[in-house]
Amino acid sequence: MLMEIGSHRADKPGGRIRQKNEQIIIAAAEAEFAANGFKGATMNNIALKAGLPKSNIHYYFKNKLQLYIEVLINIIDLWDNALNELDADSEPAAALREYIAAKMRFSREYPLASRVFAKEILSGAPRIKQYFSSEYREWFLRKTDVFSKWAQQGKIDPIDPAHIVFLLWSSTQHYADFEVQIAAALGKKSLSKKDFDEATDALTKIIIRGIGYQG
Amino acid sequence: MLMEIGSHRADKPGGRIRQKNEQIIIAAAEAEFAANGFKGATMNNIALKAGLPKSNIHYYFKNKLQLYIEVLINIIDLWDNALNELDADSEPAAALREYIAAKMRFSREYPLASRVFAKEILSGAPRIKQYFSSEYREWFLRKTDVFSKWAQQGKIDPIDPAHIVFLLWSSTQHYADFEVQIAAALGKKSLSKKDFDEATDALTKIIIRGIGYQG
DNA sequence: GTCTATATCACGATAGAC
DNA sequence: GTCTATCGTGATATAGAC
C-alpha cells in the first residue's frame, strides 16, 4: 500500500553490510521520529543514535523523506505480521479477547512504532495520504462486517460497528502512545508487564460486556 | 500547575494591542505546533499564520519555548473550564453520560489543543515534566475514587478504576487526535457533528454497560 | 563500498532604525 | 510599540578522496 510512494524495495541489491546497516539506521530513525516527529527529526541525531557517520545515512537513504517512508513501511509490515483479523466465525468473546490481547502486546513490544504512526496521523498524515485511500476504506469495512454479522445473529447489541472498531484501536494504542501520562497517573516511572496485563483484562471485560455479549 | 515553568503571567501589563496580538500569535502557534510539533515548528510559519512580521513574535514572546509553554497553559485553562469532575453522588449512568459528552465536545471544538498536548506526551513530555508531578497523581486518584465508591456500593463491577479512566480518555480524545484516519475509514473528508454525536452515543452505551451498570 | 570535507540554505534570535 | 536587516548556528545534502 505504502510502497508505491517510494518505488525502491525489490530493486535493492542488499550486500550483507548494507542490510545490517540499513536495519541499524531504520531502528535509530524510528526512535528519533518517535521523539521529534518528521520535521523535528535531524539526520545528525539519527546518525548519532545509529553510531554511524552522518553522511552514511545519506549514502543508504536518498533523503530524510525516503528514510521516513522506509520506517513507516517497516512499521506497517510489523503491524500486518502481529495482528490477525477478527474471526467472524468464532464467538465474539473469544475473538475479541484475542484481538485485544494482540493489540496490547503490540503496544508493549513496539511503542516507538505506534508513536511514529500516531504523530504522522496527528499531523494530518501529509506524508502518507496514499495510505488512506479507497482501499483503506474497503479494508475497514471488512473489519466492521464482523460486528454487523454478530449483531444480525443477535450475539451482540446493534451498535454502530465503526465506533466499536475505533474503540478497540484507541483504547489499546493509548498504552503505547500516552505511556508517560499513564505511568505518572499510576505513580510509576514506566509501565510493567503486569500493568499491561491488568489493562488488557479490564479492557477485555468492559468491551465484551459493553457491546452486549452475554456469556 | 504549569505556570511555574514560565513565571510570567500575572505580571503582564497588557495594553489592548498587546493582548490582541498575543491572542492572534497563540492561536497561530497552536496550529503550527499541532501540525509540526515543538521542534518541527518554525517561528516563520507562526508569523505567516498570524499575519505578522516574524520579529513581532519575538517581541511578544521571548523565545520559541516560552511561546510553546504559553500555548500549553492556554490549553490547560480551556480544559479546566470545559470539563467538570465526575459527580460521585449522581447515578453512574448520568454522570458518565455527561462526562463523555463533555469530552467529545472538547474533541470536536478544540482538536488543535488536543493534538498539541498529545504530541507533547507522545514525545515523552520533555517540556512539561513538572506537570506530571505528585500533584497530578493525587488529582488522578480523586478521579478513580468515584469508581471505587460506585463499585463498593455495588453499582458497577469491581474493575480497576484506573483503566476505566484511561478508557474514557483514550476513546474520546481519539476523535480529535486521529480524525484523518477516522474520516478515511468512514469514507469522508472530515467528521461532522452527526459523526461526533453517533460516536458519543456508541461510547456512552458501551462504557456504561461495560462496567456493569444495570439501569 | 565508506567516510571527510564542504556547499547551501533555513532556522532562531537580535540590534537598531523608525 | 513596530518592523527591517542581519548575525550566527545548525540543518540537509553532495562531491570527491580513500
State pLDDT tens for residues A142-197: 999 999 999 999 999 999 999 999 999 999 999 999 999 999 999 999 999 999 99
Q: How confident is the model at residue B12 (pLDDT cuts 50, 70, 90)?
A: low
Contact (CB<8Å) A184/B132: yes
Contact (CB<8Å) A37/B39: yes
Q: How confident is the model at residue B193 (pLDDT cuts 50, 70, 90)?
A: very high
The answer, yes or no, to whether residue A8 has pLDDT greater than 50, is: no
Residue B149 burial (10 A CB sphere; 0-12, 13-18, 19+) = middle
Nucleotide nearest to A39 (CA to C1'): D11
The answer, yes or no, to whether residue B83 has pLDDT greater than 90, is: no
∠ CA A153-A156-A161, nearest 5°, is 100
Residue B203 to residue A160: CA distance in whole angstroms = 10
Which pLDDT does position A5 carry in this prediction? 46
| Residues of chain A neighbouring B202 (CB-CB closer than 8 A) | 159-160, 163-164, 167
Q: How confident is the model at residue A115 (pLDDT cuts 50, 70, 90)?
A: very high
Contact (CB<8Å) A132/B184: yes
Count of C-beta atoms within a 10 Å radius of residue A208 = 21
Give me B83's grid cell.
Answer: 470539563
CA A54 to C1' D8 (Å) is 22
- B63 CB closer than 7 A to any strand C atom: yes
Which pLDDT does position B2 carry in this prediction? 60
Mean pLDDT of B78-88: 88
- A55 CB closer than 7 A to any strand C atom: yes
Contact (CB<8Å) A181/B121: yes
Are A130 and A5 spatial neighbours (Cβ–Cβ below 8 Å)? yes
Q: How confident is the model at residue A14 (pLDDT cuts 50, 70, 90)?
A: low
Residue B63 to residue A12: CA distance in whole angstroms = 45
Name residue A156's amino acid. I
Which pLDDT does position A19 carry in this prediction? 85
Contact (CB<8Å) B180/A132: yes
Distance (Å) from the alpha carbon of A72 to chain B's nearest alpha carbon: 15
CA B9 to C1' C15 (Å) is 27
Give me A189's grid cell.
Answer: 516511572
The answer, yes or no, to whether residue A22 has pLDDT greater than 50, is: yes
The answer, yes or no, to whether residue B94 has pLDDT greater than 60, is: yes
Tell me the residues of chain A between 50 and 109 that have a Cβ less than 8 Å away from chain B. none
Contact A184/B at CB under 8 A: yes
| Residues of chain B neighbouring A185 (CB-CB closer than 8 A) | 136-137, 140, 162, 165-166
Contact A187/B at CB under 8 A: yes
What is Dmax (Cα atoms) for chain A?
A: 61
Q: How confident is the model at residue A13 (pLDDT cuts 50, 70, 90)?
A: low
Q: What is the pLDDT of residues B147-186, one digit of tens each?
A: 999 999 999 999 999 999 999 999 999 999 999 999 999 9
Residue B82 to residue B84: CA distance in whole angstroms = 7
Contact (CB<8Å) B210/A212: no
Nucleotide nearest to B58 (CA to C1'): C13
| Residues of chain A neighbouring B214 (CB-CB closer than 8 A) | none
Domains annotated on chain A, with CATH: 9-75 (1.10.10.60), 83-208 (1.10.357.10)
Which pLDDT does position B45 carry in this prediction? 94
Pick the closest to residue A166 from B171, B20, B61 (CA basis). Answer: B171
**CA torsion through residues A34, B140, A167, B152, sign:** positive
Place of cell 488488557: A200
Name residue A92's amino acid. P
Distance (Å) from the alpha carbon of B46 to chain A's nearest alpha carbon: 15
Which pLDDT does position A85 carry in this prediction? 84
Mean pLDDT of A85-97: 92
Residues 12-31 of chain A within 7 A of strand C, judged by CB, are 13, 15, 17-18, 21
Which pLDDT does position B41 carry in this prediction? 96
Q: What is the pLDDT of residues B23-75, one digit of tens each?
A: 999 999 999 999 999 999 999 999 999 999 998 999 999 999 999 999 999 99
